[in-house]
Amino acid sequence: MKLAKNIQNIAKRVLINESEALNNIANYIDDQFEECVEAIYNSKGRVVITGIGKSAIVASKIVATLNSTGTPSLFMHAADAIHGDLGMIQDNDIVICISKSGNTPEIKVLVPLIKRTNCKLVGLVSNVDSYLGQQADYVLNATIADEACPNSLAPTTSTTAHMAMGDALAVCLMELKSFTSEDFAKYHPGGALGKQLYLKVDDIISHNEVPIVQHDAGFKETILEISSKRLGATAVLKNDELIGIVTDGDLRRGIEKGIDLDKVVAEQIMSVNPKQVEKGDFAVKALNVMQQNNISQVIVMDGNKVAGFVHLHDLLKEGII
C-alpha cells in the first residue's frame, strides 16, 4: 500500500537542508579557525575531543579521522570526564568540546575543570553566544538555521555540520604536515586500502618464475615457456634487451592467420613496446596499467633488465582488487 506521505520528497528535503547548512558554515571559517589549526599543529600534546549524546559520537569519528591522518587524538566522554576520565588530559593537550547548544549541564561542569589545566579549549558549537562559546579559547562556528528533523529537535543537520568541521580541521592539518599516501599507509596497513598504499611489485614477483625467450626461439619453445611459467606470456629478448612480449593471445592470433609453426620465431609473432612497470613501483600502479590497456600481465623492469612479471591473478590474490 502506498503511504500518504511522499518519502522521496522527505529524503530530498533532508539532504538539501544539510547540504545548504554545509555551504553556510563555510562562511564561518575565520581567523579563529586558522588560529585553532595552527595551535594544534604547533602543540606538543594530543588533541582530546569530548561531547555528550550525539556529539560524543561525532567526537569519536573526528578522533578516528585525526589519528588516521597523523594527529594523535583521544576521545573523552563528557559525562565520564567528571567521574575520573579527566585524568587522561595532560599538559599541553588541546581539548575540543563539541556541543550544539553549548549550554548542557555536563558541559557547564566540565569547562571550568578544563580551564584549570594547562590546555587550550576549543568549542565546536552551533551557538557562539553560549556558555561554551564564551569560555573557549577558540570557537569553531557550526551554526545552522534548523535541524532536518520536522520538529527541528533531533540532531541531524547539526551533527553533519560538526562532523564536516572536523573533516576540515583534519585536512588542514594533513596539508600543513605534507601528509602523503605513504604516511597514510603507516596507519592503514590492513585490508585492500592498506595494500594499495604499501604493497610493491617486488613483493609479488618473487613468487613468480620469469618467462623469457630469445628473439629467434621457435614456436614450440615459446609456447612451452609460456605454459611452464603459468603467467600467460613471455618476454622476448635480443642481445639481452627487451624487444617484445608474446602472450597467449599472440599465439592464438598467429595460428588463426595460418603461420608456419615449424618456421615462425618469437620475434615474428610478438607484440612490440610491451607495457612495463619498474621494480619498486607500487602494485596498484601495475593494476592501473593493466586496466588502462585491458591486459592481464605487465613486465617488471629493473633498469634495462627484465626482473619479472605481475599477473592480474597476483593482484586478486593479494586483495588489491
d(CA 318, CA 283) in angstroms, rounded, equals 10
d(CA 286, CA 260) in angstroms, rounded, equals 35
d(CA 58, CA 64) in angstroms, rounded, equals 10
Query: C-alpha grid cell for residue 190?
Result: 590492513
d(CA 173, CA 199) in angstroms, rounded, equals 26
Tally the C-alpha atoms within 13 A of residue 316's C-alpha that lie toward its C-beta.
6
* Structural contact between residues 91 and 190, judged by C-beta atoms closer than 8 angstroms: no
- Give the strands of the sheet with 233-238, arranged side by side: 212-214, 233-238, 241-247
Pairing of strands 94-99, 120-125: parallel
Report whether 313 belongs to an annotated binding site. no
Residues marked as binding for Zn(2+)? 77
Binding residues: 77
